[in-house]
Amino acid sequence: MITPEWAAAAPTLVLGVTALVLFAFDSIDPESSNNPVLAGIAVVGSLAAMGVSVAYLVAGVGDPAVELYGGQLVVDGMALFFQVIFTSVTALVALASYDYLEDMRHQAEYYILLLLAATGMSLMAAAGSLAVGFVALELASLPSYGLVAFLKQNRGSAEAGLKYFLIGALSSAVFAYGISLVYAVSGSLLIDAVAGSVRNAGQPGVLGVGVLMVLGGFAFKTASVPFHFWAPEAYEGAPAPISAFLSSASKAAGFALAFRVMTVAFPIEGVVGAVDWVLAVQVLAVVTMTLGNFAAATQENVKRMLAYSSVGHAGYVLIGLAALTGTGDGGLVLGAGMIHLLVYGFMNTGAFLFIALAEYWGVGRTFADYNGLARRAPLACVAMTVFMFSLAGLPVGGGFVSKYYLFAGAVNAGVWWLALVGAVNSALSLFYYSRVVKAMWIEEPAEGVDVSSYPSTLYAAVITAAVVTVVLLPALGLFSGFAFDAAAAVLF
């Protein structure tokens, strides 16, 4: 508990206020090229929000859950845990953007949109009603469309922004329609109240369609099949730090809302007569994992490979929902999904920031262009190697532990075949991740690649992400309890 109660929403408020400070700074000095101040405000603001959410998590503010505005906002352990993910990714991305945006126009707008999107994500994690969830999802999505198209003179970026926007608008419509159907059956938008009235719902058909449509909205935000088409295009066309932001933070935000809505509003034992959404998520998880990893294995472009691998990782995290069969420990597997998103927030952000570094140097986009990069930039390449092996699930980083938790949770819940598919996919993913490592360390360097400068903040962000990824391997044991407790508190 905390007094005053509204202070429980502090991580979201800090992010919002930081965006307003950036607005004010840009009003005083429009067309500012004072990049250090802009990046500094964004980094300090997101670090402050991260500090607050970590402090709240440790102090147990979310236990028992704090309900604000009659339950419209719920600040519990899960909300705070996800807010830690969003704020840390935002801080890394803002730090890396300092060098990436060098000499570009509209820098203030870039950081403002970044912070506004982070505010929306933080609100998504704490949404206590479907209406707040929808508005927060839009607050997170609309700035993202602008950010993807930020390099507006670049055809790829503009095209990616348009595709992202069109698919986003479509899935928002599907999501909103699903909410309206759920409301028609349950008569409430509050997640808790929906749970009470769907148990003996009068119109199971309408409820079933509504639940599936809501699930479709989450599939878009998390880049899962069947709404994953935008992901490779958007991640490839966007500025690389934004690809990092979208594929880590935005995906985690989608899962934050999905975890809360699916588990709290539609408890499976209550709605199984209308729709067996656990079965639907199981199918989605298998298809998403397999499709993402196979598509990634066939790519020649490193950024596109990472985009498809990001789709594959959405499939792994979906196990967190797919294994809520009622048998076994639901809190274990849901918490494992949260932990995987935390680790993924660092290792995947780091990998995309390495791409940003390569774009900064003007290195090409394919695997072959990375040949021999380790001789010119050994430190960054060590970091990239850590990211790649951790993404594949080798025990060099936290990715090993979080995948282990996920698969163990799935086996514990009696869906061992999900764990099997996940393990086979992880083995496949090692193939294409190691191609990057092989290119960097073993292949002979190509002629003409010139690594002349070492951008300090981009380097700092990549190294920080790598250090945290490695540290998470032993450290996860210390605080994974937070995730498991938070997940269990949401479930029961």
Binding site for another protein (CB under 8 A): 20, 23-24, 26-28, 30-31
Contact (CB, 8 A) for 311 and 231: yes
Least distance CB 308 / another protein (angstroms): 36
CA end-to-end span of the chain, whole Å? 19
Residues ≥6 apart with Cβ < 8 Å to 325: 268, 278, 413, 414, 415
Least distance CB 23 / another protein (angstroms): 5
Nearer to another protein, 23 or 404 (CB): 23
Nearer to another protein, 23 or 454 (CB): 23
Least distance CB 4 / another protein (angstroms): 12
What's the CA gap between 54 and 470, in Å, rounded?
19
Least distance CB 13 / another protein (angstroms): 11
Nearer to another protein, 3 or 452 (CB): 3
Nearer to another protein, 16 or 210 (CB): 16
Nearer to another protein, 132 or 291 (CB): 132
Least distance CB 30 / another protein (angstroms): 5
**Three-state DSSP class for 371?**
coil
Contact (CB, 8 A) for 239 and 358: no
Half-sphere exposure of 392 (CA within 13 A, CB side): 22
Instruction: Name the packing angle between helices 107-125 and 35-59 (round to 10°).
Output: 10
Least distance CB 24 / another protein (angstroms): 6
Torsion sign across C-alpha atoms 243, 247, 251, 253: negative
Least distance CB 131 / another protein (angstroms): 16
Contact (CB, 8 A) for 390 and 397: yes
Contact (CB, 8 A) for 50 and 22: no
Q: Name the amino acid, one letter, at 434.
A: S
Nearer to another protein, 116 or 296 (CB): 116
Contact (CB, 8 A) for 398 and 344: no
Nearer to another protein, 21 or 272 (CB): 21
Least distance CB 27 / another protein (angstroms): 4
**Using CA atoms in the order 214, 215, 216, 218, what is the torsion angle rounded to 10 degrees?**
90
Residue ranges of alpha helices (H) inside 199-276 are: 204-221, 230-237, 240-245, 251-260, 268-271
Nearer to another protein, 22 or 225 (CB): 22
Least distance CB 490 / another protein (angstroms): 29
Nearer to another protein, 115 or 336 (CB): 115
Residue ranges of alpha helices (H) inside 261-377 are: 268-271, 277-297, 302-322, 330-361, 373-376
Residue of 54, 72, 50, 62 whose CA lies nearest to 8: 62
Residue of 313, 317, 320, 322 whose CA lies nearest to 295: 313
What phi and psi values does residue 165 have, to the nearest 5 degrees?
-65, -45
Nearer to another protein, 16 or 320 (CB): 16
Least distance CB 250 / another protein (angstroms): 23
